[in-house]
Amino acid sequence: MAEPIVLTSHPTDTRPKLVLASASPRRLELLQQIGLDVDALLPTDIDETPQRNELPRSLAQRLSGEKAAAAVKTMGYQPRLEGSYVLAADTVVAVGRRILPKCEDIEQAEDCLRLLSGRQHRVFTGVTLITPRGAERRRLVESRLRFKRLGATEIDAYLASGEWRGKAGGYAIQGLAGAFAVRLIGSYSGVVGLPLYETAALLAGEGYPVLTPWFEGA
């Protein structure tokens, strides 16, 4: 069972708690960008293997839902997180129906970069919110991104950077790979890992005080 990583402790704060079902520093930074304090990170350990004939968009939706549900189950053993909003997301990179891996070795990353070179691909990010009342709300964001044609030296340099490790499709748009992006149609933050417009709308729609920190100068 994963132990939560507690980030804040406000015993007298009336603000509802927010739990991020992820250990991703990118997603945490995106939430902080719009003034949201995350009370705890609760990484989940689920099987992310695509099901037979599963489409990329379906995979992103399913995994975000499973991550949120797993976090809620774990929270049952954590009284201090009772009454929290739970937020989860999953990002899938695809070329057509082909789902690209979250690269763990350099051969995978090289294959991905060569496939993405000079062509358009799609990035699907599923977001799931489970409220303190147990209501579940979901969004799916699709973005289209085109890379420049990559030369052998560029691919070798990017592989040497190690930035690809653990990244869907073998790249991080917010990092060095930003130099490869010719055109993006959709949500930049969604490609990074958490679409901020849709996430804020989900939270606000379920009564979470998204704007309150803005008034407080957060």
Domain CATH number, residue 179? 3.90.950.10
Classify residue 195 by burial, with Cβ atoms within 10 Å: 0-12, 13-18, 19+. buried
- What's the one-letter identity of residue 80? R
Pair 128, 65: CB distance under 8 Å: yes
pLDDT in tens for each of the 218 residues of the chain?
455 666 655 544 678 999 999 988 999 999 999 999 999 999 988 999 999 999 999 999 999 999 999 999 998 878 888 899 999 999 999 999 999 999 999 999 999 999 999 999 999 999 999 999 999 999 999 999 999 999 999 999 999 999 999 999 999 999 999 999 999 999 999 999 999 999 999 999 999 999 988 887 64
Which range marks the domain in which residue 203 is found? Answer: 5-215
The answer to whether 142 touches 187, Cβ cutoff 8 Å, is no
How many whole angstroms separate alpha carbon 25 and alpha carbon 177? 17
Per-residue CA distances from 27 to 9, 44, 61, 131 (Å): 20, 14, 17, 19
Which pair of tokens denotes residue 165?
């490790």
Sequence-distant (6+) residues with CB within 8 A of 133 are none
Report the first-to-last Cα separation within the chain, whole angstroms. Answer: 33
Q: Which residues are catalytic?
A: 90
Distance CA(218)–CA(212), nearest Å, equals 9
Q: Specify the pTM.
A: 0.91
Of 47, 43, 145, nearest in space to 93 by CA: 145
Based on the structure, what is the number of domains in the chain? 1
User: How would you class 25 by CB atoms within 10 Å of its CB: exposed for 0-12, middle for 13-18, buried for 19 or more?
Assistant: exposed
Exposed, middle or buried by CB within 10 Å (0-12, 13-18, 19+), for 124?
buried
> What per-residue confidence (pLDDT) applies to 12?
46
